[in-house]
Amino acid sequence: MSTKRKDANQLNMHLAETTSSLKNRLQGGEFVVQFETPLPLSQEPFDSAVENGRNLMKASKADDLVSGVVITDRTRGEECHDIVEVAEALMDAADAPLVLTFAGKNRSGQAFRELLARAESAGISGILSVTGDRSAEHPHGDQPGKRRTKARPDYLDSAEMIHRIHHSGANVLIGGTVNPFKYTVSDQYLQYYKALRKINSGSDYLVTHIGWDMSKLQALQWYLQMREFSIPVLARIALLSMEEINQIHEDYLPGTPVPKNFAAMLQREASLGYNQSLSAQLHRIGLQAAGCKLMGYSGVQIRGVSGQETANMVINRIREALNTYSSYPAWLEAWKEHHTDLRFSPLLNGFYTFRNLLNTDHPMYEPDKCPLTEESFPQPSGKDRMHAGLYRFLNEPPLLSSLTQRIQRLLCPGCDNKDSCRPEYCEYLCPAECPKQLMYGPCGNSSPDGTCEFGGAPCFFHRVLALAAAGKKLDTLESGIAS
Ligand code: SF4
Ligand code: SF4
């Protein structure tokens, strides 16, 4: 029977059960595994395209370690089947928790509101908000610092979506993402601050970007523990297909650095054949999951699992690794032995937030054993200081002379975003200088060296961070979004 046709009582019962099981498991400190399935493209026949999602729901229902499925949004393209219809088809296959990812790319605020209402009434368990990568409709030649390129697509900021869901009263678990795999001091702290902004805006849990650098996953936990933020965090882990491994390069996954030597290792494994490659990946996934658990993660979200048989292999390997590596020193020895001297940083001197990562005898943050790496944020330019100071000064009433109005127009010529623009969240710089016009913090997709996803210049938020640091107002970068 289609979920669409279930009556209101059935829907409410379903919602209460699944939401509560996922929420209780996360908040009760249980380690969970979630499988991802990508939203199918609209050109794919519906029934065959949702088959893998159905299988993953059945695998989830059949095994206690797995706590449901996550549908990722617009990762394969922007012309997709309706995510709520896909969700209903998956929930018909098995009654397991289902989380929908909502990507903000190419989505207006109105479209988001409508989608949220439909998702809630369909009885889904949670919504994971992501800003998303560059839209295929984005005009070429855009880069940070360019204010007015014609007809940019909408990008709804993930923090704003979290704020809106939180205030909508929707009975769903609210998730936000964080990218711990950044290798400049500015990019890394910007990700931490934005994650805290998401928590302060209503996020119930966080999910990391995909990555293999376990030092970075430990650093995120240490940072949250140092700041005394206690929130469930899931680490996103990838199982790659042979086709993906053969094509993999440094920028293969948006926002996820794949170091050359690691890509070479994957390709060496693949050259031995499918079974050897799968076996090596399963071993690594098990080790990653066990390490995450020991470091304080609440679970893992696995991308790339196709078919019930592979799902079972992944579950068995994770269960085996959780049992085998129950102590941190034993896990650390196994991880180091498997990767010998492999360097996961894509930069020669990539930034790590703490010293002693993957080196102490204790996986959790301890102030005297986990010193911060001392590295200052860059200074703001004189032009940015003047722009921000003037903007703030001129917006203090009652300075309304024609001269001040003229200067105001120079600083902010106005644009289609005038009504929603809140430059106080980005140190009074113009948010239109970010190609995605974000104002609450960066997306997760800058390159390892800090260059914007669109190229051409460093991420716009480096300048925001520099101004906030110089003004000793870093806390403003992590404040919740005000209504
Ligand atoms: S309204 Fe906001 S985004 Fe538009 S030009 Fe002014 S400061 Fe920039
Ligand atoms: S400027 Fe930063 S936040 Fe904006 S699109 Fe580029 S990388 Fe993303």
**Pocket lining: 418 vs ligand 1, CB cutoff 6 Å:** yes
Nearest-CA residue for ligand 2 atom 6 is 452
Phi, psi of 97 (to 5 degrees): -60, 140
Separation of 445 CA from ligand 2 center, angstroms? 7
Q: What is the pLDDT of residues 331-389, one digit of tens each?
A: 999 999 988 778 899 898 999 999 999 987 789 999 999 999 999 999 999 999 999 88
Contact at 8 Å (CB) between 411 and 391?
A: yes
The token pair that represents 464 in the structure block: 């925001």
Confidence of residue 260 (pLDDT cuts 50, 70, 90): confident
pLDDT at 225 (0 to 100): 97
List all residues whose CB is within 6 A of at least one atom of ligand 2. 144, 434-436, 438, 442-443, 445-446, 452-454, 459-461
Which atom of ligand 2 is least distant from the CA of 454?
6
Confidence of residue 414 (pLDDT cuts 50, 70, 90): confident
Nearest-angstrom CA–CA distance, 116 and 122: 10
Contact at 8 Å (CB) between 437 and 431?
A: yes
Whether this prediction's pTM lies above 0.75 is answered by: yes
Q: Which stretch of DSSP H or E encloses residue 144?
A: none
pLDDT at 21 (0 to 100): 79
**pLDDT above 60: residue 239:** yes
**pLDDT above 70: residue 119:** yes
Confidence of residue 150 (pLDDT cuts 50, 70, 90): low
Tally DSSP H helices, then E strands, for the chain.
16, 8
Nearest-angstrom CA–CA distance, 220 and 198: 15
pLDDT at 16 (0 to 100): 46
C-alpha atoms less than 13 angstroms from C-alpha of 44 in its C-beta half-sphere: 18
Separation of 410 CA from ligand 2 center, angstroms? 23
What's the alpha-carbon Rg for the chain, to the nearest Å? 23
Contact at 8 Å (CB) between 193 and 474?
A: yes
**pLDDT above 50: residue 197:** yes
DSSP letter for 327, please: S
Phi, psi of 145 (to 5 degrees): 95, -20
Separation of 465 CA from ligand 1 center, angstroms? 19
Nearest-angstrom CA–CA distance, 392 and 460: 19
Angle at 242 between CA 236 and CA 245, to 5 degrees: 65
pLDDT at 450 (0 to 100): 96
pLDDT at 192 (0 to 100): 98
Q: Residue 467: which of 340, 342, 377 has the closest Cα?
A: 377
From 421, 425, 436, 440, mutation site for ligand 1 pocket: most ligand atoms within 8 A of C-beta: 421
Separation of 401 CA from ligand 2 center, angstroms? 35
Q: Which CATH number fits domain 3-339: 3.40.50.720, 3.20.20.220, 3.20.20.70, 3.30.2270.10?
A: 3.20.20.220
The token pair that represents 286 in the structure block: 């098990």
**pLDDT above 60: residue 13:** no
Domain boundaries, the chain: 3-339, 382-477
Q: What is the mean pLDDT of residues 225-251?
A: 93
Alpha-carbon 127 to chain mean position = 12
Phi, psi of 172 (to 5 degrees): -135, 155
Nearest-CA residue for ligand 2 atom 8 is 443
Which atom of ligand 1 is least distant from the CA of 439?
3
**Pocket lining: 421 vs ligand 1, CB cutoff 6 Å:** yes
The token pair that represents 378 in the structure block: 């860059």
Q: What is the pLDDT of residues 45-100, one digit of tens each?
A: 999 999 999 999 999 999 999 999 999 999 888 899 999 999 999 999 999 999 99
